[in-house]
Amino acid sequence: MAKILLSIHVLAAILLIGPVTIAAGLFPRYARQALADGPEQQSAEGSVRLLHRICRVYAVVGISVPAFGIGTAEVMGVMGSAWLHDAP
C-alpha cells in the first residue's frame, strides 16, 4: 500500500506542480505586455486569462500532493522521523 501511495504522490507532484510553476513563471511577462500599449496587447490579455485559470485550477487540484504525502508517511509510519520534519 505504501508503494502505491508513494507512486501516486510522486506522480501527482510531477503532473500537478510542474504546470502551475511554469504558468506562474510566465504570468509576469504576459501581464506586462497586457498592460502596455501595442499590437500584442490583445493576445497578451488572452494569455493572462489562460495563465490565471491554469494557476487557479492546478492550485486547487494540487492540494492532493501534500495529502498523498501525509497519507504515505502515515502508512509508512515515519510521521515522527526527523528527516520528515525540517524543524531546528
Q: What is the pLDDT of residue 84?
A: 67
- Rounded to the nearest 5°, which phi and psi values hold at 29? -60, -50
**Closest to 31 measured CA to CA, from 13, 15, 16, 46:** 46
pTM for this entry: 0.70
Quick one: pLDDT band at residue 83, thresholds 50, 70, 90? Answer: confident
Per residue in 28-52, pLDDT (tens digit) is 999 999 998 877 788 889 999 999 9
Q: Are 62 and 20 in contact (CB under 8 A)?
A: yes
Measure the CA–CA gap between 48 and 28, rounded to whole angstroms. 9
